[in-house]
Amino acid sequence: MGELPDTMDGYMRMSERTARESLYILSTGVVETFGDVYLRKPSLHNLQELYAAHEECHRFPGMIGSIDYTHWKWKIVRSNNDVNVLDQSPIFDDLLNGKAPDAPFTVNGNEYKYGYYLTDGIYPQYSIFVKAFRHPVEERDNFFKRRQEGARKDVESVFGVLKAKWHIVEHA
């Protein structure tokens, strides 16, 4: 467990190419079998469940998640920074194209149309990204920054556990 794909050549008695093709076939099967349930856009009900879970756990109403959660080593042609990875991700296409479903939530009596993701400072200024204060001055800003960093660390920890358990996520 935790081995690189090419270290299995001798053990499995198959070439790296065959191992990669087998992995591709397995991945395709997983997507075909579970894609409709797990690899789809979230419904309004799903978003409301995310809102409730993050509000209960972190006291952030309207939070969908943390977009800066993986520190993944993406294998893309351009620089592997967060913004380039974001540009290649379809996760925000509907929102940016004005096609995202309304998923309203209320904070302090103000209703907002869409949920948001916690991010660090590198991301663009989109309303769906909530960044921490870089240099908080007031105590309430310090409080928010600590809570946000705690929520982001929780998400990063969960992903770290997944990477440790499923090494293919890390070495693919």
Predicted pLDDT of residue 172: 47
Name the DSSP letter for residue 65.
E
8 A C-beta contact, residue 115 and residue 63 = yes
Q: What mean pLDDT value characterizes the chain?
A: 77
Name the percent of the chain lying above pLDDT 90. Answer: 8
- Percent of the chain beyond pLDDT 70? 73
The CA distance from 68 to 63, in Å, is 13
- Identify whether the C-beta of residue 80 lies closer than 8 Å to the C-beta of residue 73: yes
pLDDT mean over 81-103? 71
* Range with the largest mean pLDDT of 8-12, 57-61, 91-95: 57-61
Residue burial 127-139, b: 16+ Cβ < 10 Å; e: rest: ebbbebeeeeeee
Cα(71)–Cα(150) distance, integer angstroms: 16
In this predicted model, which residue has the larger pLDDT, 11 or 153?
153
Residues 6+ apart with CB under 8 A from 156: 66, 69, 70, 71
